[in-house]
A and B are shown apart, each in its own frame.
Chain A
Amino acid sequence: MAALNHYLILSGVLFTMGVAGVLLRRNVITMLLSIEVMLNAVNLSFIAFGHFLGSADGQIIVFFVVTVAAAEAAVGLALVIALFRHLETLNPDAFRQLRG
């Protein structure tokens, strides 16, 4: 039986990969995907704690996280489309002036 710390370490590794994606990649869409990776890593630790505490609260919080992720993806991708229409690039270094 996999213990709590197995799940927590997996969650930490996935979270770090998300951080690495945001730090290393120079593509706004991949950076948004990395944020999704981080949210999922946190979800995994919520579910693991919920299971090992014998409580449903972890699962409920995961539903709210998924909802927030959906809202974040919708607004983030709308921003990406608006920026791409202006500057024809997805490189965040190109977005230096945001005065419209």
Chain B
Amino acid sequence: MAHNLVFFYGFAALAVVSTLLVIAQPNPIYSVLLLILSFVALAGLYVMLDAPFVAVTQIIVYAGAIMVLFLFVVMLLNVSHEHAVADNQAASDGGGPTVRWFGAILAGVMAVELVWALNRSRSVGAALAGAERETAWSVEEIGRILFTRYGFAFEATSVLILVAMVGSIALAGRHLSGKKAWRR
């Protein structure tokens, strides 16, 4: 079982370090690639939590589709270091370091508060001991629950996807048919 703890700390450290670098990175391309690394670490944690199907979905859908979409946009807009520098200059006449420090302090306070509060949840974990299953959830079991108890939510999700698709085409694809066609 100590074996398990080593994996937990390994994946957790990988996730925390790569997420920190995502935030600290001036170049968005590296941010996107590091976020993929963080998602892979989280997928490892999901496997440890007996959710292998979610782990695979995380890799395929998040790392494979959503992050590639981000990468496409970063490369399409061609935002490089020059833009980052210009953005920092623009930020300094808007907010400046005071606002930035305020944000950093707020985030630090929130981190301390959350860790303090969640550390007290140890008794909850102890109360739940023994409830966990011995085996991982299979795709069949998850599919059965998804299409019976959560069938309505599943259908509503398809409508949400359709709305997002129509919205993004209306927002980003208006040059395809020319501005006049859009105004009409």
Contact = CB atoms under 8 A, between A and B. Distances in A.
Nearest to A12: B114
A67 B161 contact: yes
A33 B31 CA distance: 8
A67 B150 CA distance: 14
Interface of B: 1, 4-5, 8, 12, 15-16, 19-20, 22-23, 25, 28, 31-32, 35, 38-39, 42, 45-46, 48-51, 53-54, 57-58, 61-62, 65-66, 69-70, 73-74, 76-77, 79, 83-84, 86-88, 90-91, 94-95, 100, 103-104, 106-107, 110-111, 114-115, 117-119, 121-122, 124-125, 128, 131-133, 137, 141-142, 145-146, 150, 153, 157, 160-161, 163-165, 167-169, 171-172, 174-175
Given A29-B73, A40-B39, A10 B103 contact: no
B28 A47 contact: no
Contacts, number: 242
Interface residues of A, number: 74
A24 B103 CA distance: 6
Contact of A37 (B38, B107, B118, B161): B38
B161 A21 contact: no
B4 A91 contact: no
Contact of A5 (B84, B118, B163, B174): B118
Contacts of B91: 26, 91, 93
A66 B57 contact: yes
A14 B19 contact: yes
Contacts of A81: 73, 76-77, 171-172
A10 B49 contact: no
Interface in A60-77: 60, 62-64, 66-75, 77
Interface of chain A: mostly helix, strand, loop or mixed: helix
A85 B1 CA distance: 54
Given A26-B87, A51-B49, A67-B160, A73 B70 contact: yes
17 contacts: A5-B125, A9-B115, A9-B119, A14-B19, A18-B19, A23-B103, A27-B87, A29-B74, A30-B25, A33-B35, A51-B132, A64-B157, A66-B57, A67-B160, A71-B161, A71-B164, A84-B77
B167 A75 contact: yes
B107 A20 contact: yes
A23 to B, nearest CB: 3
